[in-house]
A and B are shown apart, each in its own frame.
Chain A
Amino acid sequence: EDQVTQSPEALRLQEGESSSLNCSYTVSGLRGLFWYRQDPGKGPEFLFTLYSAGEEKEKERLKATLTKKESFLHITAPKPEDSATYLCAVYKGGGADGLTFGKGTHLIIQP
């Protein structure tokens, strides 16, 4: 069975304290892995797409990496405005049943 597991479920950091969020998957035939950020009561906001192992992408304080089994979202020197839930989604191909979201990591950055 395809699974997408995000860890930790929740993470509290001090401002400036760098860390990483993990998304591990057991999907066969990965076609794409997506990272989104979601603020309470709002729709998810796209961050990154990764298609193949070894790929890396950066945007401001965020960097996403991908291996054959997992992806990391590295957050460098975070600020309070980085507080949000970070969602990972994996696409294996096919129709509506080919996209699976993880449960997310709730990140809190304290000033």
Chain B
Amino acid sequence: DIVMTQSPDSLAVSLGERATINCKSSQSVLYSSTNKHYLAWYQQKPGQPPKLLIYWASTRESGVPDRFTGSGSGTDFTLTIGSLQAEDVAVYYCHQYYSTPPTFGQGTKVEIK
């Protein structure tokens, strides 16, 4: 199984500042046949289901604010919240769909400093 490791486990950021979450996969999630990275990011607020933010490592889902940016390649990926808003307080998960079983990172909790 591909192990997804996120860092940090939690972070506190001031409103309007940048938040950066890292995700490392134990093997590459780049599929040569499509030249795409099979990596998604989700946001989960308390008491709610996860919400898709990013897929293909960097493609923003429709309706997701452009302050959310996904980047990275190979085994190292980053979710950046460009200017943290109060409504961004949540747990964020990365997810690889390159191989079976699909696996998630352990989650990163983002709070307001």
A and B associate in one complex: no
Residues of chain B whose beta carbon lies under 8 Å from any beta carbon of chain A: none
